[in-house]
Amino acid sequence: MDVQADEAGLTADPSATAVVERTRAEGQGQLFPEALGYPTYADTDKIPAVGGGGRGGDRTGPARWLRVTVALVALAVVAAGAALGLVKAGVIGNGSGNGSSRTSGAPPAHHQTVPNSKAPLVSLLTTGAGGANYSIAVPAYQVTVVTSTGRSWVSMGSVGQKPIFEGILAPGASQREILLGTSQVDVGAGGTKIVVASGQRSVTLTPPAAPFSYQFTPKR
């Protein structure tokens, strides 16, 4: 009787309800603490492809920016080529000079100064019975001796040097030489003419007597 009374005292009272609150510490030592409210992926071996923000990564971003960059570079190259073409064509100034936007055109040509063709090529300095002395406007000139109906002895050359030509010309013949500096031309027979030329200018001299000597001295 006493034993039964003791067992009856130890039996749990079905009318009593005990609620025990589970604390966070009860999750310690567990591999997958589902009870703590944390997500678990114990049922799969794949890591979910979710970015840090919870959305899938935008793979088209870098490719789109690369295409935009290439297009901008191409436009810059085309613009630079067009500007260079305009500069070469003279439409746009190259930034040099006095800053004027007016096109410069063709570079100035260098013209050689030519003596006035109306000025006399030779001028008489002195004359005598057997010869004449002339001044000539150029240091180098051409002298041609022309015979007519008779033969003529001719000597041509620089003063103080051996003649360039010395001999007898047949009737209707001519002898031409290029002379430099002070020169002397001697002719022997009448009817002979002396033609002195330089560029577009020329002068013809007729000896008043035979023989006759001409001396030409360049102007200084």
Give the model's pLDDT for residue 79: 78
Whole-number pLDDT of residue 20: 46
pLDDT of residue 187: 96
What does DSSP assign to residue 174?
Answer: E
Provide the pLDDT for residue 117.
Answer: 56
Give the model's pLDDT for residue 60.
Answer: 59
Q: Do the Cβ atoms of 101 and 95 come closer than 8 Å?
A: no
Q: What are the beta bridge partners of residue 132? A: 127, 214
Three-state SS at 5: helix
Neighbours of 77 (CB within 10 A): 10
pLDDT at site 115: 45
Q: How far apart are CA 23 and CA 11, in angstroms?
A: 28
pLDDT value for 66:
79
- pLDDT tens per residue across all 220 residues of the chain: 444 444 444 455 555 444 445 544 444 445 444 544 555 545 555 555 544 444 544 555 667 777 888 888 888 877 777 777 666 655 455 554 444 444 445 544 433 444 445 779 999 999 998 999 999 999 999 999 999 989 999 999 999 999 999 999 999 999 999 999 999 999 998 789 999 999 999 999 999 999 999 999 999 8
Residue 97 has a pLDDT of 46
CA–CA dist 148, 204 (Å, integer): 14
Residue 14's pLDDT is 52
Q: How many residues does the chain have?
A: 220
